[in-house]
């Protein structure tokens, strides 16, 4: 009887191929394909209703999409810069500590140990206009006697979301920058001191250039994180009220799963992913430049 | 330019003292080398002068100012570090001009000073490179250039040549000496290499375990070492030390060989001593030993030879101790051959066996 004899490498690799196919390739192809259809989750047969680039055109001409896009961009910019500054300050302070530094480093990681969903609930409670901690504190201190609508006013809600986001993830910057601080060779720092630098100048001209690669790594990680922000915002405001805090992925999530317009949601998702890719490329370029200027790698 | 004075300077890390109340007066324009085995506190001393290390006790004066509590930037010193410590993200030009830039000096002055330093150190073609694109020797020169652009009161060098290969080290040694002759600034130079110390220094400061053991010109420390440690540390090959006992006004080695007591040395009868003789002062008969009035002769089998061209180093065994001798105008010597060696006694040393202190009066 004839038996098909496959070469051993193919036999050995087949399980890996199968898994990759199932978890990556098929969903990717399927979702990409569906972004060109009028696919509705509630009516599976619609996946065959090809409507060309309609979804993409629709997204690109949709005011809500663009305002979510812009708000996401703003959130990334504001959150990353704040986190960078706070993380840098935190890392510099922790690096100075000689006793109990281990403990401090561990404590610094605490915010990252909580589920973002729970963080969202916690901040939702803190910023609640009636029973929230913040308004109660402000009122008890006599700073205000009105109930500030933290999660209702668009600008205030944005601030609340940024606060929650920064609270959870500043430690990403702090940890990476701290690692950078430990990796800095002491010689150039001492040379700078002898060359006449004040502590600020030493930091500005020697320490900071050494930290830049670490900062860019943190930026790359966090830009992806924030560009796909969903959980905290979904819990705190669900993109509302009246879309005032709508981000790309709260919009996409609602379009896909609440409105069941999965084809359209997928199209928006692919545009959103482009944004993430742009961020990644940008920060990795910056990282490479910073490393090259330090003479690390080429 | 300024003199540097250390008074009872102490450095402790916690309860552990690593520099013990050292005193040192360095004259304006002098080239002083701190030398000693690694871990003896040379760098620590230098870094206290630089202000990179707190001073635990005593005072450091540069010029007429006590600088104990001044940060490095207020001491007007330059330092060259062992690992060059260049700023990797700056070009050679920026590295050289950095201190002037920080001092907010006018642009054209910076350009001129950088050009001048680059000229002195032959760095002109490299000005636009980054340190990563330079060889070890070139980096070393940039580090020196960075130190000289500022015209500081004092130059501090911490083992600046120890990362270079032997040939480059010799070259740079000459360059540093030339630099000192040209700029005339006070230099404090740290090394563990006694040859560097001998060749560069106006005065050598020999340190051991956080103490200064001896201060003197290169010839003084070579010819009149205060103890057995200095005697073996300075000079190459190291001085031979033979255990002996003083008996009836003569030295008796452990195998009974008797050697007359060298002149100018005092030792009690029965005192246990170490007899010190450099290879230059123990030579086979008939091989250009300079004639002196006090000679002693021993027979010694040769166990190993190291021909160096103009001379051959002979390794022999005398009273169970390995001895290195020199043969000028060398002839081939067979291993095992027994030669008669003449010892120039007036160039020899005697150290107390217990304390190591020199018994020279
Ligand atoms: N930060 C430190 N903490 C504790 N001991 C130190 C420290 N730095 C140096 N030492 C000790 O001080 C002694 C002198 O060191 P150093 O001055 O660097 O010696 P060297 O003569 O080789 O330059 C050494 O025994 C070293 O172990
Ligand atoms: Mg040292």
* Among candidates A196, A198, A206 on the partner chain, residue whose Cβ is nearest the Cβ of B99: A196
| Chosen from A188, A192, A194 to mutate, greatest number of chain B CBs within 10 A | A194
Q: Give the mean pLDDT of B9-30.
A: 94
Q: Averaged over A24-46, what is the pLDDT?
A: 88
The ranges assigned to domains in chain A are 59-293
Between CA B6 and CA B49 the distance in angstroms is 9
ipTM, two decimals, is: 0.85
Q: What is the mean pLDDT of residues A212-232?
A: 91
Q: Is A209 on the interface with B (CB under 8 A)?
A: yes
Angle between helical axes of A208-227 and A63-96 (0-180°, round to 10): 140
DSSP SS3 for B323: strand
Q: Which fold has domain B233-352?
A: OB fold (Dihydrolipoamide Acetyltransferase, E2P) (2.40.50)
> Any idea where the domains of chain B sit in the sequence?
4-226, 233-352
Under a CB-based contact definition with an 8 Å cutoff, are residues A246 and A69 in contact? no
CA–CA–CA angle B232, B237, B238 (5° rounding): 10
For the segment A48-69, the average pLDDT, to the nearest whole number, is 88
**Nearest chain A residue to B103, by CA:** A196
pLDDT of residue B44: 95
Query: Of ligand 1's atoms, which has the minimum distance to the CA of residue B34?
Result: 21
Give the mean pLDDT of B170-174: 88
B201: closest CA among B32, B29, B19, B20? B32
CB-neighbour burial class of residue B338 (10 A; exposed 0-12, middle 13-18, buried 19+): exposed
Q: pLDDT exceeding 70 applies to what percent of chain A? A: 99
| The pLDDT value given to residue B167 | 86
The closest ligand to the CA of B208 turns out to be 1
Annotate A181-203 with DSSP letters as a single string: HHHS-HHHHHHHHHTT--HHHHI
Tell me, what's the pLDDT at A146?
81
Q: Answer whether CATH 3.30.30.10 is correct for domain B4-226.
A: no
Distance of CA A277 to the CA centre of its chain: 12
Whether chain A has a CB inside 8 Å of the CB on B80: the answer is no
Pocket of ligand 1 (CB under 6 A): B 13, 18, 36, 38-44
| pLDDT value, residue B1 | 59
Residues of chain A with Cβ-Cβ distance to B87 below 8 Å are: 188, 191-192, 205-206
Ligand minimally distant from the alpha carbon of residue B13: 1
Mean pLDDT along residues A13-32: 90
- For a mutational test of ligand 1's pocket, the pick from B16, B19, B41, i.e. the residue with the most ligand atoms closer than 8 A to its C-beta, is B41
Nearest CA in chain B to A192: B99
- Proximal ligand: closest to the CA of B16: 1
Q: Is A201 on the interface with B (CB under 8 A)?
A: yes
Cβ atoms of B316 and B301 within 8 Å: the answer is yes
Q: Evaluate the omega torsion of the peptide bond into residue B180 and state whether it is cis, within 30 degrees of 0.
A: no
Q: What does the pLDDT average to over A121-126? A: 91
Going by pLDDT thresholds of 50, 70 and 90, the confidence category of residue A51 is confident
For residue A297, name the pLDDT band (cuts at 50, 70, 90): low
**Contact list, B79 vs chain A (CB under 8 Å):** 190-191, 194
| Longest CA–CA separation in chain A, Å | 92
b/e B140-163 (16+ beta carbons within 10 angstroms → b): bbbbbbbbbbbebbbbbbbbbbee
Identify the pLDDT of residue A1.
57
Span from the CA of A207 to the centroid of ligand 2 (angstroms): 24
Alpha carbons within 13 A on the beta-carbon side of A216: 19
Cβ–Cβ < 8 Å for B273, B244: yes
The answer to whether A195 contacts B51, with C-beta atoms less than 8 Å apart, is no
At what angle are helices A116-126 and A154-183 packed, to 10 degrees? 130
Task: Indicate the SS3 state at residue B273.
Answer: strand
Residue with the larger pLDDT of the pair A229 and B46: B46
How remote is the CA of residue A60 from the centroid of ligand 2, in Å? 66
Domain boundaries A59-293, CATH class = mainly alpha
């Amino acid at each position: 009887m004839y038996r098909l004899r496959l070469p051993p490498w193919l036999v050995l690799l087949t399980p890996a191929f199968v898994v990759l196919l199932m978890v990556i390739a098929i969903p990717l192809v399927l979702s990409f394909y569906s972004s060109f259809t009028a696919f509705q989750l509630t009516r599976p047969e619609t996946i065959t209703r090809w409507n060309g680039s309609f979804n993409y055109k629709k997204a690109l001409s949709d005011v809500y999409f663009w305002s979510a896009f812009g708000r996401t961009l703003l959130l990334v910019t504001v959150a990353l810069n704040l986190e960078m500054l706070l993380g840098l300050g935190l890392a510099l302070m922790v690096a100075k500590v000689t006793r109990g530094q281990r403990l401090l480093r561990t404590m610094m990681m605490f915010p990252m140990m909580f589920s973002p969903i729970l963080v969202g609930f916690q901040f939702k409670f803190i910023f609640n206009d009636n029973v929230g901690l913040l308004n109660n504190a402000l009122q008890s201190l006599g700073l205000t006697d009105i109930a500030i609508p933290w999660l209702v006013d668009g600008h205030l809600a944005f601030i609340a979301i940024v606060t929650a986001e920064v609270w959870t993830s500043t430690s990403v910057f702090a940890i990476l920058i701290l690692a950078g601080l430990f990796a800095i060779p002491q010689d150039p720092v001492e040379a700078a001191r002898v060359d006449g630098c004040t502590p600020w100048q030493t930091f500005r001209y020697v320490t900071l250039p050494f930290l830049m690669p670490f900062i860019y790594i943190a930026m790359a990680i966090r830009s992806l994180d924030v560009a796909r922000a969903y959980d905290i915002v979904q819990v705190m405001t669900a993109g509302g009220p009246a879309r005032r805090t709508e981000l790309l992925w709260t919009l996409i999530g609602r379009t896909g799963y609440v409105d069941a317009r999965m084809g359209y949601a997928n199209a928006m998702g692919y545009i959103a992913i482009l944004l993430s890719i742009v961020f990644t490329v940008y920060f990795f370029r910056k990282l490479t430049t910073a490393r090259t200027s330090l003479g690390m790698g080429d | 330019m300024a003199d540097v004075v250390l008074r009872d300077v102490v450095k402790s890390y916690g309860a552990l003292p690593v520099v013990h109340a050292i005193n040192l007066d360095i004259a304006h324009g002098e080239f002083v080398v701190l030398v000693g085995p690694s871990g003896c506190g040379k760098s620590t001393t230098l870094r206290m002068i630089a202000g990179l290390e707190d001073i635990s006790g005593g005072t450091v004066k540069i010029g007429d100012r006590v600088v104990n509590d001044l940060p490095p930037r207020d001491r007007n010193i330059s330092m060259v570090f062992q690992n060059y410590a260049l700023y990797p993200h700056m070009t050679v030009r920026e590295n050289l001009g950095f201190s002037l830039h920080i001092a907010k000096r006018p642009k054209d002055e910076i350009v001129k000073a950088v050009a001048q330093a680059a000229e002195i150190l032959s760095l002109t073609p490299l000005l636009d490179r980054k340190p990563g694109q330079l060889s070890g020797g070139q980096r070393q020169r940039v580090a020196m250039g960075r130190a000289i652009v500022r015209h500081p009161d004092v130059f501090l060098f911490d083992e600046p040549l120890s990362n270079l290969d032997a040939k480059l080290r010799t070259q740079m040694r000459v360059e540093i000496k030339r630099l000192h002759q040209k700029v005339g600034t006070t230099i404090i130079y740290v090394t563990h290499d006694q040859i560097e110390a001998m060749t560069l220094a106006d005065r050598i400061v020999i340190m051991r375990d956080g103490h200064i053991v001896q201060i003197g010109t290169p010839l003084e420390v070579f010819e009149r070492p205060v103890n057995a440690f200095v005697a073996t540390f300075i000079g190459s090959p190291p001085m031979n030390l033979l255990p002996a006992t003083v008996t009836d006004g003569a030295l008796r080695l452990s195998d009974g060989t008797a050697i007359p007591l060298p002149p100018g040395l005092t030792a009690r009868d029965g005192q246990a001593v170490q007899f010190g003789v450099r290879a230059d002062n123990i030579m086979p008969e008939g091989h250009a030993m300079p004639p002196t009035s006090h000679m002693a002769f021993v027979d010694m089998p040769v166990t190993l030879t190291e021909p160096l061209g103009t001379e051959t180093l002979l390794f022999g065994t005398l009273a169970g101790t390995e001895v290195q001798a020199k043969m000028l105008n060398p002839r081939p010597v067979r291993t095992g051959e027994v030669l008669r060696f003449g010892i120039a006694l007036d160039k020899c040393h005697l150290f107390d066996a217990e304390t190591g202190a020199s018994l020279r009066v």
